[in-house]
Structure 1
Amino acid sequence: MSISTNVFAQSGTLQGKVVDVSNGEAIAFANVSIESNGQIITGGMTDFDGKFVIKPIPAGNYDVKASYVGYHTLQYKGVKIMSGKITFQDFKISASTQVLSEVEVKEYKIPLISKDQTATGGSVTSEEIAKMPGRDAAAVASTVGGVYSEKGEIGSVRGSRSEATAYYIDGVKVSGGASKSMPKSATSQVEVITGGVPAKYGDVTGGIISITTKEPARETYGAVELITSKFLDPYNYNLAEFMVTGPLYSKKTIDAYDSTKIKKNVIA
């Protein structure tokens, strides 16, 4: 049994431009805000060329809103911020002649090609992880091309030895065993790098499996999962997994996980 706290959270960057939809002219000093569950997480302002860069942003899904005096507010819902990557999102807003404010809402679409992608591999989001039968990072990583897994263990990343694969949780290097103690319900994203390893990871000769945990919530909630094979086979496989997160006190949050505990009976 192990406990992990969300201290070294990985973050991403949002970059884009705000322009007038009618003539394509850049709108300087427009406000860009990033919200989650109705709460503003962070934000920024465009420069003279209408461009903005907002960082660091904790990995996750957000609603991004662009506004300017005399223009309709435009909001994109479900914008995905990936750890260690740049998300590009431009805004084309229209002039408003109405006294009352009006907000235009659009659904965010993940681009087919990432402009800042220099490494090969793939990323798996929390929505995709929840639908997978695997229980740990190794099982999730095996869904990415170039990763070979055997019996739930990472065997090879593009032919390298298993010992050459490095594991990171919220930017902190850990052993492969520590990555297995992270519950699926506490995982926000799993990134697998199979080639072109960035310099920030140092002397890695194999692949990278980077796990980003979910951010602490403003309201207390948790998840419990129990699995047993006691009534189905003689192996007596039991698994108990739960996750609790929420505020510690006003304006402070805490994130704690109690991970997998497995018991097996050995059969001669």
Structure 2
Amino acid sequence: MSISTNVFAQSGTLQGKVVDVSNGEAIAFANVSIESNGQIITGGMTDFDGKFVIKPIPAGNYDVKASYVGYHTLQYKGVKIMSGKITFQDFKISASTQVLSEVEVKEYKIPLISKDQTATGGSVTSEEIAKMPGRDAAAVASTVGGVYSEKGEIGSVRGSRSEATAYYIDGVKVSGGASKSMPKSATSQVEVITGGVPAKYGDVTGGIISITTKEPARETYGAVELITSKFLDPYNYNLAE
């Protein structure tokens, strides 16, 4: 039971509606597919009202495509799926007279106000993490507003004691030190909750730092990163990851 809970805790949901762009009428039984690097991860079909709900989806960024016979296929690139949250994305597709319909591609835009947002804080995705100078998940979390850090350590969240901050890795509660041992290359998403902590986290009086690791890859790969300061200072600081 605990395994199932952890899996769903680190997954998100995609919800929306597919309609005809000319008259706003719902399109029933339209196909909605979720893709990553050209491969279909999961998908679903709209109901009689043109609505769809797809879950669970591993946290990350995806290309989402809606298609139906006689209509142009519409694809949104970079749709962000967050752990334990619902991402809303509607599709307005237009009729096509061509046998082989072309695909219309649009960039996904993060809404200013999320319908599913009940807590304050922020989330950082793997694409954003790769561009950051920090070496671990704790350093990534310190970039979110309301998080105070000192010398690479999480000091406090919105002024609370450091002991009041709870850490989770893939839905499992861990000590704060464990978050520093998690390399950013293995991190898919870091979510920081600074206020309005959901009831599922219990009696947390500070903040929540939740780390989601990357899903197993379809192909075997590896990487080695070496960092040294021997050419810049006399300390010869070396790091291998």
How does the TM-score come out when normalised to structure 2? 0.92
Cα distance per residue 1:103-133 (max 9 Å; x no partner): 2222212222211100001111122212221
User: Whole-Å Cα distance in 1 between the matches of residues 164 and 133 of structure 2?
Assistant: 26
Aligned to 2:230: 230
Contact 1:138 1:149 in 2 (8 A): no
Distance of aligned partners of 1:223 and 1:9 in 2 relative to their CA distance in 1, 3 Å threshold: farther
Distance of aligned partners of 1:72 and 1:231 in 2 relative to their CA distance in 1, 3 Å threshold: closer
Q: Structure 2, unaligned stretches of length 5 or more?
A: none
Q: Percent identity?
A: 100
Contact 2:14 2:81 in 1 (8 A): yes
Cα distance per residue 1:223-252 (max 9 Å; x no partner): 2111233454454432211xxxxxxxxxxx
Aligned residues: 241
Distance of aligned partners of 1:91 and 1:21 in 2 relative to their CA distance in 1, 3 Å threshold: same
CA shift for structure 1 position 6: 11
Aligned to 1:143: 143
Distance of aligned partners of 1:47 and 1:62 in 2 relative to their CA distance in 1, 3 Å threshold: same
Contact 1:61 1:79 in 2 (8 A): yes
More helix by share: 2
CA shift for structure 1 position 25: 0.3
Contact 2:33 2:64 in 1 (8 A): yes
How does the TM-score come out when normalised to structure 1? 0.83
Distance of aligned partners of 1:179 and 1:52 in 2 relative to their CA distance in 1, 3 Å threshold: same
User: Whole-Å Cα distance in 1 between the matches of residues 148 and 4 of structure 2?
Assistant: 27
Cα distance per residue 1:165-201 (max 9 Å; x no partner): 1111111111111111111111111110000001121
Q: Structure 1, unaligned stretches of length 5 or more?
A: 242-268
Contact 1:6 1:215 in 2 (8 A): no
Cα distance per residue 1:67-95 (max 9 Å; x no partner): 11221211111111111111111101111
Distance of aligned partners of 1:28 and 1:7 in 2 relative to their CA distance in 1, 3 Å threshold: closer
Cα distance per residue 1:3-22 (max 9 Å; x no partner): 99997871111011000011
Query: How much is the aligned-residue C-alpha RMSD, in angstroms?
Result: 3.5
Cα distance per residue 1:150-174 (max 9 Å; x no partner): 1111111111111111111111111
Distance of aligned partners of 1:5 and 1:51 in 2 relative to their CA distance in 1, 3 Å threshold: closer
Distance of aligned partners of 1:92 and 1:164 in 2 relative to their CA distance in 1, 3 Å threshold: same
More strand by share: 1
SS at match of 2:8: coil
SS at match of 1:138: helix
Of 42-51 and 215-224, more deviation after overlay is shown by 215-224
SS at match of 2:177: helix
